[in-house]
């Protein structure tokens, strides 16, 4: 197994500069990572930098809270798709989940998936705020909304990915969706443990370190 094929090389810090994103993309191309993951404002720059490579471009939307209006999320997705993003990582509306507004969540995911069409849609659950039953429920809603993958975390919550959450997510989605473990994964050994537990993608800013290990 080649770990590099699982890695979304990620830079989402609010202070990320153009130089930082340029370095990220050059590293991804050099090491052959699966994708780079950036904030939507850097989609055009990142796409230009990886254009002649096999590296995919993922953009986060509704990030990191997920609490903005559906219309705002859709407009952000449209911008990213117009600038050739291959994948979208959207944040689920946690307030809606805890309020029982399940149909709105399904509809939001469906609408965003419709915009990106054949592109990959990952839905971030921010599992640190959810009980085991809520993680299961969130996964079910994502499947009903036609999401391609479910993802643990933004990296901005009080806790990132956990093996327990990955196992719950795997039990919930089975082979019907991929799973991305993201948040706090900083070394090769940990990344491999998450893959063994069921993750099909690893979101990390420590990809280079993992390759050097």
Residues recognised as catalytic: 89, 151, 180
Report the 10 Å Cβ neighbour count for 205.
Answer: 18
What is the three-class DSSP state of 111? helix
The dihedral sign for the CA sequence 46, 147, 202, 94: positive
- Tell which residue, 11, 19, 65, has the closest CA to residue 40: 11
- On the 0-12 / 13-18 / 19+ scale of CB atoms within 10 A, 122 is buried
Evaluate the CA torsion angle 131, 133, 138, 139 in order and state its sign.
positive
User: What is Dmax (Cα atoms) for the chain?
Assistant: 45
* Chain mean position to CA 40: 13
Alpha helices in 51-187 (DSSP H): 70-82, 94-99, 102-116, 132-144, 163-173
Q: Give the pair of three-digit tokens for residue 43.
A: 């989609």
């Amino acid at each position: 197994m080649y770990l590099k094929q699982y890695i979304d090389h990620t830079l989402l810090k609010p202070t990320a500069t153009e130089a930082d994103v340029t370095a990220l993309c050059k590293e991804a191309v050099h090491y052959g990572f699966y994708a780079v993951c950036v904030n939507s404002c850097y989609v055009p720059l990142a796409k230009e930098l990886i254009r002649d490579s096999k590296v995919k471009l993922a953009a986060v939307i509704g990030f990191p809270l997920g609490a903005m209006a559906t219309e705002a999320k859709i407009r952000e997705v449209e911008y990213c798709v117009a600038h050739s993003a291959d994948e979208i990582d959207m944040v689920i509306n946690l307030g809606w989940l805890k309020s029982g507004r399940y149909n709105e969540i399904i509809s939001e995911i469906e609408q965003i998936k419709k915009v990106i069409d054949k592109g990959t849609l990952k839905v971030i659950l921010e599992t640190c705020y959810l009980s085991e039953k809520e993680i299961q429920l969130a996964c079910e809603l994502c499947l009903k909304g036609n999401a391609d993958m479910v993802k643990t975390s933004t990296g901005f919550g009080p806790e990132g990915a956990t093996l327990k959450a990955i196992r719950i997510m795997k039990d919930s989605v089975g082979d019907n969706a991929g799973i991305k473990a993201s948040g706090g994964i900083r070394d090769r050994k940990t990344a491999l443990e998450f893959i063994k537990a069921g993750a099909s993608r690893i979101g990390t800013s420590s990809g280079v370190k993992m390759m050097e290990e």
